[in-house]
Structure 1
């Protein structure tokens, strides 16, 4: 299968108010990032509002959910939000979907919704995609699936346009290669874009990121973690090209804490 050209996204939370969020969106576009991606959590502004705001102050920047958690809305409601964003952004929206973290059980309860077991959450994602396809008509909302487990990888291969390799932070290269094979097999020849999220650029893990991923820089380095990218710009560019060669990953997102540090790679590799 032919290699896809590189593109890059920024994962950011609109937690510091509208002015800061609009500034982030404009800066991401200015630096050449393809997408601004917003997480889904009841403690943050809803992605629908955040992404519509970001699209309104930019012209070419794509916006996406990273990712809508299936326990936090019904499949039909998620599809309604997604299609609405596709319409209101003139096709610049990408729908990211996932089954949600275990901590979202309480958030689902706050909304009066069932958290569900793993299969039920995956079924909700599948139904969301079906609803979006029906609502879109002649339009097409790109769907990204965060695929952590075998069932999610099979569903992603069968129905998604973009698949984010969502193993643990210490998942090995060989394990990721096996995951890609599962996804490709399920895709049965369908054209897919493979993606990977970078938590750390450089060799310093900010405390809040360490709290989220649960490991320090030394552990990431020891395990050759693909959630870290380090070295010179040349080194990092070569590593991203290696990941594309070995895994097919061409769409790379980075935490907004590193938006400036990562920008030279965006300039060098975008579209290549």
Structure 2
């Protein structure tokens, strides 16, 4: 780890778990209760058409089964639902949970979803333009006054969104990005900025993994910092990373080698990538503290398979 210091103020650690499905409703809600009991802040879900539960009912079920757990999508694809409908659903969930919703929104990237649904997969620039408009509509409809919007993709006529969310002016918005334009938008518009791999190919493969190196993350964080500084928002942003290569183990070297072989990269890439967390709870905690110092990452999300094994790290760092 370098001696570089994050341009973002140090924020307390919090942790989330990304979930997809469960064998049944009881298992789903018990999973949520277990996440909450371990001290995780948030449960999130992807938004795809494959082997996952539909996010809205599944997220609401988790809210109903818990008392402190926050929920959100990582992230809703703007193309799958009109932003007026999404805004109403999210605001309703925020009211029913007394303010435990986070709004994750993205431009869409998974080409298989579009192909299977017969939806047009527009070029990235068009999808991003539409997403920016969708975000403006969601924010506007959660405001206190009737809202109108005239865009290239959406038109809203004097609609007074109901209900109004508990969290004002709106629940925290998380935007994750791997490319410069989305990272710039996130820095200017989001409360939480997720730094991702680059997904231009529409699938997770070698191209995306190649953009998860430490050097790539340094560049991405720099884009966010420059845009946030220009917008006067450095102090406001919470930096997030969804980790993919996680193993709590007492044999860090062996597991790092195995992980590197599995994804087809060299071991140094795995050791240094902020998307990887491998080692004992103490080693991982030390890595996270160092990465927060360098990159600003204080909001860390792991996968469903890590709920219990990663809990000692959460116990050690959450809120510090």
Match of residue 176, structure 2, among 127, 130, 146: 146
**1:40 counterpart = 2:85:** no
Say whether 1:127 aligns with 2:133.
yes
Query: In structure 2, the residue corresponding to 1:261 is in which secondary structure?
Result: coil
Are 1:104 and 2:97 an aligned pair?
no
Deviations along 1:80-134, one digit per CA (max 9) or x if unpaired, are 332232222221011112223222222442xxx4332212221222222212222
Q: Is 1:27 the equivalent of 2:68?
A: no
The offset of 1:215, in angstroms, is 6.9
Distance 1:249 1:239, change over 3 A: same
Q: Normalising by structure 2, report the TM-score.
A: 0.76
Aligned to 1:210: none
SS at the partner of 2:72?
A: strand
Residue in structure 1 matching 2:77, options 66, 69, 72: 69
**Structure 1 residues 169, 62: CA separation in 2 closer, same or farther (over 3 Å shift)?**
same
Shift of the alpha carbon at 1:49? 0.5
Give the number of equivalent residue pairs: 261
Partner of 2:203: none
1:214–1:53: structure 2 CA closer, same or farther, 3 Å change rule?
Answer: farther
Please give the per-residue CA displacement for 1:59-82, whole angstroms capped at 9, x wherever unaligned.
Answer: 000001011122322333332332
Q: Which residue of 2 aligns with 1:208?
A: none
Q: How does 1:1-272 map to 2 (within 5 A)?
A: 1-43=8-50, 44-98=52-106, 99-109=108-118, 113-137=119-143, 138-167=168-197, 168-170=208-210, 171-187=212-228, 188-190=231-233, 191-202=236-247, 216=262, 219=265, 221-224=267-270, 225-272=273-320
| Structure 2 gap segments, 5+ residues each | 1-7, 144-167, 198-207, 250-258
Which structure has the highest helix share of the two? 1
How well do the aligned residues superpose, as a CA RMSD in angstroms?
Answer: 2.2
Q: TM-score, structure 1 length as denominator?
A: 0.88
Structure 1 runs (4+) greater than 6 angstroms displaced: none
Checking the alignment, whether the CA contact within 8 Å between 1:200 and 1:258 is kept in structure 2 is: no
